[in-house]
Amino acid sequence: MKNSEYYAKKIKQLVKEKSADVSAPQVDDKIELIIRGILEENVDPRKVPAALSAIEKEYVDYNELRVSPVRDIVDVVGEKYPEIRSKAQNIVNTLQAIFDRANNLSLDFLNNKPKREIRKIFREKLGLGRYAESFVTLYGFDGHAMPVDNLLLDALKLGEYIHPSSDLDDLQGFLERITPHADAITYHQALRKYASEMARKVYRLWEKQRKEMEAAEREQKAAAQEEKTEEKPQAAEPTAVHESEEEKTSKKKSKGRAKGTKKSSGAKKTESGKRKKSSSTEVKVSSTRSTKKTSRIKASKAKSDSSNHSKQ
């Protein structure tokens, strides 16, 4: 974290102010710690006891909770509880993962393992999130861990106790470095108390951010739709309906030229036909004249022959 020494002093002073009347929860059952850790993440600490009490009253034991439909858990805790659907699903999934691994609902199989390995199993094998994993490690296995969530992160930012650019990784690493192991639970409870005091301001901030994000998404969708509309080729409009004056004039000229071409072609055909008929007639007349001439020549020759014959 940037300016870590400066913010370390501020955090220690905050813990000192808030730790006067805090007390750690006395929980011996590690399965209960898992359920509590899941329910606490990003939730005002004042709402958690009622949710735990509702679950304890409804279910005989945690094995019944393990096989309970998520919908039923939501109804038991209440739909207004923050992120209750995802939390209920997480509870069921984690309890089932433990049962599949140990054939019962017990974490005794982790007792002799190193703390680092325990945290890895919580995350990778049992599917616990950052807050619940750290919570069970701290309260159930005396590991050096500091549970943090977005509620605490934004509360500390609003109070200017950490650098504005810090994220959850920065916050958790920073707190685990500056917190003495013997005081880890005290630090956590003091910071949870501060988060509870700031919860309403943080929730208002989240609501504002949510609305801004939704507005930005709507603008992006509208811009994307507008861009698609601009890129889409325009459909050809019916010529008969939307013809321009120039197109109409051009079509009339084309039709006129086409008609003129047809007439010219027809006239040429007619003239050619006349020429053929005239030529045929001339041939017939010529043939007739030739025949008549031949007949006259034959007649004249016959007459001459007849005269010569008489003289003899």
Q: What are phi and psi of 243, to 5 degrees?
A: -75, 140
CA distances from 65 to 33, 62, 125, 181 (A): 14, 5, 20, 34
Q: Are 8 and 178 in contact (CB under 8 A)?
A: yes
Q: Which two tokens stand for residue 312?
A: 């003899």
pLDDT tens digits for range 260-287:
554 455 544 445 554 544 444 443 434 4
For the full predicted model, state whether its pTM sits above 0.85.
no
Helix (H, G, I), strand (E, B) or coil at 44: coil
CATH code of the domain made up of 4-217 = 1.10.340.30
Dig out the tokens for 135 from the structure: 């919570």
pLDDT at 155: 98
Q: How far apart are the C-alpha atoms of 15 and 193, rounded to whole Å? A: 9
Read off the pLDDT of residues 226-260 as tens digits, 9 standing for 90 and up: 888 887 666 555 554 455 555 556 655 565 555 55
pLDDT higher than threshold 60 for residue 97: yes
To the nearest whole percent, how much of the chain has pLDDT over 70? 74
Confidence of residue 156 (pLDDT cuts 50, 70, 90): very high
Q: In the chain, what percentage of residues exceed pLDDT 90? A: 68
User: Tokens 């609902």 appear where?
Assistant: 105
Mean pLDDT along residues 216-228: 90
Domain positions in the chain? 4-217
56 pLDDT higher than 80: yes
pLDDT band at 22 (very low <50, low <70, confident <90, very high): confident
CA distance 172 to 177: 9
Lookup: tokens for 196: 């509870």
Which helix (H) or strand (E) is 116 found in, with range?
A: helix 115-124
Cβ atoms within 10 Å, residue 118: 20
DSSP H or E run through 23? none
Task: Give buried/exposed letters for 67-84 (b at 16+ CB in 10 A, else e).
Answer: ebebeebbebbeeebbeb
d(CA 136, CA 142) in angstroms, rounded, equals 9
> Is the torsion defined by CA of 103, 107, 112, 117 positive or negative?
positive
